[in-house]
Structure formats: C-alpha cells, structure tokens
Amino acid sequence: MQKEKKKGNGRLKGFKRFLQEEEGMGTVEIILIIVVLIGLVIIFKTQLRSLVETVFEKITKDSRTVMS
C-alpha cells in the first residue's frame, strides 16, 4: 500500500516539476500565436483578399504612370 502512495506521490512530483519547467514554453507560445494568426486569416479571408487586390491594382496603376 505504501509503495502505491510513493509511486503516486512521485508521479505528482514529476508532474509538478514538468509544469514548472520553462524550457518548452517558448515553443508552446509560438505554436499558439501561429494558430491564432491562422484563425484570423481564415476568419478575415475575404477582407484580406480584397485589400491585397486593391493594393496591387494601385501599385500596377501607379507603375504604369511612372513608366510613361
């Protein structure tokens, strides 16, 4: 019975140590930021596409005036 408690207690200590480790936190944070950015792109896909098209049309129009 005591071995089970010690084994369980050791697992708990290991889990606490795992939660306190900060080495992998940078990776997790970067992955979360990427997931949020992908979600925003998916949500605002049509607005972003129209904005990019407008910007490229303006660039094309202005470059034609410069070339003339």
Residue 64 lies in a domain: yes
**Domain total of the chain:** 1
Residue 32 is part of which domain span?
25-68
Q: Which residue has the higher pLDDT, 48 or 15?
A: 48
Residue 6 lies in a domain: no
Structure tokens at 64: 């034609």
Residue 1 lies in a domain: no
Residue 16 lies in a domain: no
Structure tokens at 61: 């129009």
Structure tokens at 58: 């303006």
pLDDT at 1 over 50: no
Structure tokens at 32: 């979360």
Q: Which residue has the higher pLDDT, 20 or 50?
A: 50
pLDDT at 3 over 60: no
pLDDT of residue 7: 53
Cα–Cα distances in angstroms (integers) from residue 3 to residues 12, 16, 17, in the given order:
14, 20, 21
pLDDT in tens, 32-68: 999 999 999 999 999 999 999 999 999 998 888 877 6
pTM: 0.46
